[in-house]
Chains A and B, each alone.
Chain A
């Protein structure tokens, strides 16, 4: 093996070795193969018929309302894993009064958002303490359908925010992957705060 090739291989092996060791030690380390299911619409879509008899009240905190379907706690996560939905199901949930949460920044939210959506900028939400997170979300129905969205495309704050809500015990959290871009393209209801 000539000297240059030896150097190239040595540098790569040392980098990979240190990287893999530190990644194992690091609490924020990542798995070798990323979980792609986080970014794909779930194949098990709920049919529109299933929703026709479902009463959804996002602010019913009496605990009397039942969740949609039979949400199961994911043994690995320790909470109900948020589902990934596309524009069709997002609109179905919108039509049964699901709680829409916009995870984008305040500026983006005020520039226009899905009609009726509330704004929890993920960057602000993640900085709050666990107690504050509970206090912020206690007015919402844990069994109610929640749809979290952001800008669509490559934005991921909706995914992160949805997992935070899942951890807080919300059982029907859905990530609308297409987000604001798909919603606007479809021509569905939007609003700017000063249009209320």
Chain B
């Protein structure tokens, strides 16, 4: 199991795919914080007064974590924030789905129209897959491959 999940090519694919998704998802939100704030508000999970703050910070957190994931820098810090974000997205989408809220997901484009229930389900599944990927990266990404010690001639 460890051999499969810790495979360097699998970890490489996870980093590239999840990193690109996060960077792509941040673009529209960075351009239009007003529309993204609207999307957050529609989830009806926090007081209206507070929705602008995550609308300002979250897109950059997504962008920076995406870059760090691809480059493999600050693995634990990146993993921590990605897990927080993905769990938050999953909770938000699930409660919206359960309550039957007629919302736009705001996942990739805050200007998109109201998402259907099946679209919200797809987003939840996507987030779970990315969460699994990030967890694999967190657990196995730090383990260095055992390199053969270079043969050295004994000191004379």
Chain A residues within 8 Å of B74, by CB: 7, 10-11
Q: Does B77 contact A (CB under 8 A)?
A: yes
Q: Does B76 contact A (CB under 8 A)?
A: yes
Nearest-CB distance from A12 to chain B (Å)? 7
Q: A23-B56, A154-B102 are in contact. Are A15 and B76 (CB under 8 A)?
A: no
Q: A7-B78, A11-B61, A153-B102 are in contact. Are A36 and B47 (CB under 8 A)?
A: yes
Contact of B53 among A3, A32, A155 (CB under 8 A): A32
Chain B residues within 8 Å of A6, by CB: 77
Q: Does B128 contact A (CB under 8 A)?
A: no
Please tell me if the beta carbons of B56 and A28 are within 8 angstroms of each other in the complex.
Answer: no
Q: Which residue of A lies closest to B54 (CB)?
A: A19
Contact with B along A123-160 (1 / 0, CB 8 A): 00000000000000000000000000001011110000
Q: Does B33 contact A (CB under 8 A)?
A: yes
Tell me the bound Cα distance from A36 to B42 in angstroms.
13
Please tell me if the beta carbons of A19 and B60 are within 8 angstroms of each other in the complex.
Answer: yes
Please tell me if the beta carbons of B68 and A11 are within 8 angstroms of each other in the complex.
Answer: yes
Tell me the bound Cα distance from A43 to B56 in angstroms.
30
Q: A10-B77, A29-B33 are in contact. Are A39 and B48 (CB under 8 A)?
A: yes
Contact with A along B22-55 (1 / 0, CB 8 A): 0000000011111001100110100111111101
Chain A residues within 8 Å of B76, by CB: 3-4, 7-8
Chain A residues within 8 Å of B77, by CB: 4, 6-8, 10-11
Q: Which residue of A lies closest to B96 (CB)?
A: A154
Chain A residues within 8 Å of B51, by CB: 34
Interface residues on A, range: 20 to 34
Q: Does B65 contact A (CB under 8 A)?
A: yes
Q: A3-B76, A7-B78, A22-B30 are in contact. Are A33 and B60 (CB under 8 A)?
A: no
Q: A22-B30, A28-B32, A154-B103 are in contact. Are A34 and B49 (CB under 8 A)?
A: yes
Q: Which residue of B lies closest to A10 (CB)?
A: B77
Q: Which residue of B lies closest to A18 (CB)?
A: B60
Tell me the bound Cα distance from A12 to B56 in angstroms.
12
Q: A19-B60, A33-B52 are in contact. Are A154 and B42 (CB under 8 A)?
A: yes
Please tell me if the beta carbons of B64 and A11 are within 8 angstroms of each other in the complex.
Answer: yes
Please tell me if the beta carbons of B34 and A30 are within 8 angstroms of each other in the complex.
Answer: yes
Q: Does B12 contact A (CB under 8 A)?
A: no
Q: Which residue of A lies closest to B32 (CB)?
A: A28
Please tell me if the beta carbons of B101 and A36 are within 8 angstroms of each other in the complex.
Answer: no
Please tell me if the beta carbons of B102 and A151 are within 8 angstroms of each other in the complex.
Answer: yes
Q: A11-B77, A156-B38 are in contact. Are A34 and B65 (CB under 8 A)?
A: no
Tell me the bound Cα distance from A33 to B53 in angstroms.
7
Q: List 7 A-B contacts (CB under 8 A).
A: A4-B80, A8-B76, A23-B56, A30-B33, A32-B53, A36-B47, A156-B41
Q: Which residues of A contact B (CB under 8 A)?
A: 3-4, 6-8, 10-12, 14-16, 18-20, 22-23, 26, 28-34, 36, 39, 151, 153-156
Q: Which 7 pairs, one residue from A and one from B, show the smallest C-beta to C-beta distance? A: A7-B77, A15-B61, A36-B48, A15-B60, A4-B76, A7-B74, A19-B60
